[in-house]
Copies of this chain bind each other. A is one copy, B any other.
Amino acid sequence: MRFDPSTLRYTADGLLPAIAQDARSGEVLMLAWMNAEAVARTLESGRVTYWSRSRQAFWVKGETSGHVQTLVEMRLDCDRDALLLLVEQEGPACHTNRRSCFFTAVRGGDEVVLSEPMV
């Protein structure tokens, strides 16, 4: 079946969550949002392109930082309302300069920082 981004199920604001996972290591790097046009642009260009909710604009990951995400494979879930992006990540994915945005764990009721910014 041909894939059509308009057949995905978006929330009321026209977005769905997209998980970026390191295609090699399996590390979950970040979660961001896409609209149908961002999905189409990502597939066409191979450069992962989100929709920035704060800036209300397309966000070609790494366009300013150089920390680009190259799409290896896009997957959709059974409900067609979430995406998993297998990517090659250049440098850190997180704006704090860490490889992954998920660097804080909850352990024994406390927040524990698991990694430091890359140098």
Contacts and interface: CB of A to CB of B under 8 A. Distances in A.
Contacts of A31: 17, 19, 77, 82
Contacts of A96: 78
A30 to B, nearest CB: 7
Given A28-B28, A111-B1, A76 B106 contact: yes
Nearest to A44: B109
Contacts of A25: 26
Interface residues of A, number: 37
Contact of A73 (B3, B27, B101, B106): B106
A28 B21 contact: yes
A79 interface: yes
Given A1-B110, A28-B84, 14 more contacts: A1-B111, A2-B111, A19-B19, A26-B26, A26-B27, A28-B28, A31-B82, A75-B102, A75-B104, A75-B105, A77-B102, A78-B98, A78-B103, A79-B101
